[in-house]
Amino acid sequence: MRSRPFLLILLSHIILSAALVAQTQGSEPYDSLAHQTVKEALGSNKAYEMLSDLCTNVGHRLSGSPAAAKAVQWAEKKMQELGFDNVHLEPVMVPHWVRGPFERAYVLNPSGKRENLAIAALGGTIGTPKGGITAEVLEVKSFEELHKLGEKAKGKIVFFSRPMDRTLVNTFEAYGRAVDQRGAGAVEAAKVGGVAALVRSMTTRRDNVPHTGAMHYDDSVKKVPAAAVSIIGAERLSALVASGTPVRVHMEFSAQTLPDVESANVIGELRGTEKPEEVIVIGGHLDSWDKGQGANDDGAGCVQSIEALRLLKTLGLKPKRTIRAVMFMNEENGLRGGIAYAEKQRPGEKAVAAIESDMGSFQPVGFGIGDSAAYEKLLPWAPVFRFLNADHFQLGGGGADISPLARQGVPLMDLIPEVQRYFDYHHSDNDTIEGVNERELALGAAALAIFSYIIAQEGL
Ligand SMILES: [Zn+2]
C-alpha cells in the first residue's frame, strides 16, 4: 500500500496539472502557428527589407507631394508582387502644404551677434512676410498664462515652452498633454496680438533637431506663422528670457498651402474562405511629414500590415474572414484617407474590426481593444502572445486613420509597442531607418498577423 503523503502529492499534482491545462487550453489551437509565424517573420526579415526600400527609395512622403504619389505606386506594386487579392487604389483628394525652400531663425544678441535656432515650420502654417519677422519673445507655459498676460503679447513672438512631462511613463500621454501648444499656439498667440508662434518641439530627446507636426487656424482669428524649435534651441531661449533682458528673435520661412491633389488609399487583402464579406482591416498611414524618412511614423505600420498578410499567405493559413491591409493616405495633416475609407459604400460587406499600427516599430507589448465586448472575447487569446512578450491586452484602443469607422460601430484596436523611444524620432529628421530595430519590427508584424488571424477565425 502506498503511503498517505505520496497520495497527497499525487493528488496535488493532478490538481495543479488540471489548473494548468484549464489556463492554457484556450490558446492551444493557435500556439504552434503563432510560433511558426514568428519564426518566419524573424527568419525572412521581410518587413525590414520593405521598410528600408520605402525609406531609401521613396523617402519622406507628405500628402500631395510627388514622393507621396510614388509611395502609393510602391505599396500597390508591393502587394501585387506578393499576390494579395483585390489589390487596388481608392482615390482621395488631399491637402498640399509645402515647406518651401528655406526656414531659419536666430536670436539677435544686443551686441548684434546672431545665434542660430534650429526650427521647423509647422504643417499648415503660412509663411512669414518677405524678409521674415523680427520681434521680442514672450515665453509662456500655457494658454491660460498667455491670456493673463494679454496686452504684453502684442507684437511679440509667443514662445510656448511647456515640455512633455518627463515623469509620465506613457509618452503618448505626455505628448497629449503638451501638443495643444503646437496645434493651437498660432491661434492663441494671434488672439492677443502676437505676430508668430514658436513652440518647443514635442519630443523626449534632448538634441538640436526640431519636430514638426500639424497646426490649425481658426477663420475668425488672424493667421500668424508658427514653427517648432529644437529642445536645445528652446532651452537656450528659456535661459535668455530668464536672464531678464529682452530677447529678440528673427524667423523666416516660406511655407504655403497649394491646391488639393488627388492621391489614394492603397488596399490589398486575403479573401476569407468562409465569410469573405466579413472584413478585418489592418493598417497604418502611408503619408509622413516632410522630415526624415517617415520610418517609425508610419512606414513601420504600413510594412507590418503588408508583412502580416504575407506571413499568413506564406504559411498557407487561409483566414475564414477577409483580412484587408489598408495604407491610409493623409493621416498627418487632414485624415482625408481615413474619412474616405469609412465613407465609401461597400455593399454587402460587414466590418468586423479595424486594427491600426501607428505607434512606432518597437517591441510589441500587446493590443488595445476599444470595445468591451470585443475585449472580453479576445482576452482569452492573450496567452498565445506570451512567448513574444506581447500578451498585454487592454481595454481602450484605436488609431487616427480608423477612428472614422467608430461611427459605424466597428470595434477599433491597435498594436501597442514599447513607447519610450517613439517621440525621439516622431516628425523629425531623426525618423530614419536607422531608428528601427529589424527584430522588433518583425515581431510587431507577426503579432499583428496572429491577432488578425484569430479574429478572422473566431469572429467577434
Ligand atoms: Zn503616425
Nearest Cα to 132, choosing from 114, 149, 150?
A: 114
pLDDT at 26: 53
Q: What is the pLDDT of residues 213-272, one digit of tens each?
A: 999 999 999 999 999 999 999 999 999 999 999 999 999 999 999 999 999 999 999 999
Radius of gyration in angstroms for the set of CA atoms belonging to the chain, rounded to a whole number: 25
pLDDT at 218: 98
**Known active-site residue 188:** no
Distance 294 CA to ligand 1 centre (A): 9
> What would the grid cell of residue 20 be?
494548468
Residue in 76, 252, 331, 440 annotated catalytic: 331
Distance CA 171, CA 167 (A): 9
Dihedral of alpha carbons 238, 244, 245, 246, sign? positive
Distance 332 CA to ligand 1 centre (A): 7
Distance 419 CA to ligand 1 centre (A): 13
Query: Under a CB-based contact definition with an 8 Å cutoff, are residues 225 and 186 in contact?
Result: yes
Distance 146 CA to ligand 1 centre (A): 30
pLDDT at 210: 98
Distance CA 101, CA 113 (A): 25
Distance CA 129, CA 274 (A): 61
Distance 359 CA to ligand 1 centre (A): 7
Distance CA 455, CA 132 (A): 55
Q: Does residue 183 sit in helix, strand or coil?
A: helix
Distance CA 432, CA 447 (A): 23
Distance 289 CA to ligand 1 centre (A): 9
Q: Are strands 133-140 and 248-253 parallel, antiparallel or unpaired?
A: antiparallel
Residue type, 289: W
- SS3 for 138-176 is EEECCHHHHHHHHHHHCCCEEEECCCCCCCCCCHHHHHH
Residue-level pLDDT, tens digit, the chain, 460 residues? 344 444 444 444 444 444 444 444 456 789 999 999 999 999 999 999 999 999 999 999 999 999 999 999 999 999 999 999 999 999 999 999 999 999 999 999 888 899 999 999 999 999 999 999 999 999 999 999 999 998 999 999 999 999 999 999 999 999 999 999 999 999 999 999 999 999 999 999 999 999 999 999 999 999 999 999 999 999 999 999 999 999 999 999 999 999 999 999 999 999 999 999 999 999 999 999 999 999 999 999 999 999 999 999 999 999 999 999 999 999 999 999 999 999 999 999 999 999 999 999 999 999 999 999 999 999 999 999 999 999 999 999 999 999 999 999 999 999 999 999 999 999 999 999 999 999 999 999 999 999 999 999 999 9
Alpha-carbon distances of 433 from 38, 269, 286, 297, 437, rounded to whole Å: 22, 26, 15, 11, 8
Distance 286 CA to ligand 1 centre (A): 9
pLDDT at 16: 41
Distance 62 CA to ligand 1 centre (A): 12
Query: Under a CB-based contact definition with an 8 Å cutoff, are residues 117 and 230 in contact?
Result: yes
